[in-house]
Amino acid sequence: METHDAKRVAIIIEAPMKGRLTDAIEAAGVTGYSILPVIGGSGRSGHWSSEGQVGRAGGMVQVVCVIRPDRLDGLLDSIFQVVERHIGVVAVSDCQVLRAERF
């Protein structure tokens, strides 16, 4: 089966910033993404967990999208406008997709 090169962009950000982030992603012309809850982790500030928190204000989400490689720079420029002022991690990796026309 033939596969095609793509880029997987995963952004972990504070849950209240989810709307601004998805707006930035869509402004870059990317219409497909998934949003996942992040239940805990460890970073520069140490270990953290969403366990025991009331509401979503203190939580984190991961937004993942898969795009054509030629769209990467525009997407990163757009999401950086949101992520640069907030807690967040952006990871870019190479991946393969089966149906290139969907990206």
Mean pLDDT by 10 residues, the chain (103 residues): 96 94 96 92 70 60 96 96 87 94 80
pTM for the model: 0.85
Give pLDDT, residue 78: 96
Domains and CATH numbers, the chain: 4-102 (3.30.70.120)
Give the torsion sign (CA, 41, 46, 50, 51): positive
